[in-house]
């Protein structure tokens, strides 16, 4: 999967518009795991972050959930951080993001402080 994503960076983006929240979560989980694979050494990270930012309407809430479950959530957290710090991000989305924060998450702790601080 990682080889295909590396060769065709827009592949995942073509799948997003028709994705249900569950499928979006599966897509992000698969992509994050591929990005973490030693064969790619971070080459997919920027693509994953950009995917989440570009398709924030569909992927923001699944990204919060997936970031708590994968071994290497940095590209997802980078996307969440970009959305949080972007003045163009609607307040409604920021409120929804804060409402979706888990009660406890080591992976999201620093970003959660930024979001709610």
What pLDDT digit, counting tens, does each position of 9-28 carry? 899 999 999 999 999 999 99
Give the torsion through C-alpha atoms of 49, 21, 9, 7, to 10 deg: 120
For residue 44, the model assigns a pLDDT of 96
For residue 2, the model assigns a pLDDT of 85
Query: What does the pLDDT look like over 28-63, one tens digit per residue?
Result: 999 999 999 999 988 999 999 999 999 999 999 999
Where do the structural domains in the chain lie, given as residue ranges? 2-116
Output the pTM of the full model: 0.94
Please compute the mean of the pLDDT values over residues 95-106 and round it to a whole number: 95
For residue 103, the model assigns a pLDDT of 92
């Amino acid at each position: 999967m990682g080889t295909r994503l590396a060769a065709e960076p827009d592949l995942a983006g073509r799948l997003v518009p028709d994705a249900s929240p569950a499928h979006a979560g599966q897509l992000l989980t698969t992509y994050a795991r591929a990005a973490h694979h030693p064969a790619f050494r971070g080459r997919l990270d920027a693509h994953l972050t950009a995917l989440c930012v570009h398709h924030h309407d569909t992927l923001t809430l699944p990204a919060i959930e997936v970031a708590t479950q994968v071994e290497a959530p940095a590209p997802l957290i980078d996307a969440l951080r970009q959305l949080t710090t972007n003045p163009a991000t609607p307040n409604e989305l920021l409120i929804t993001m804060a409402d979706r924060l888990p009660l406890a998450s080591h992976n999201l702790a620093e970003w959660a402080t930024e979001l709610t601080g």
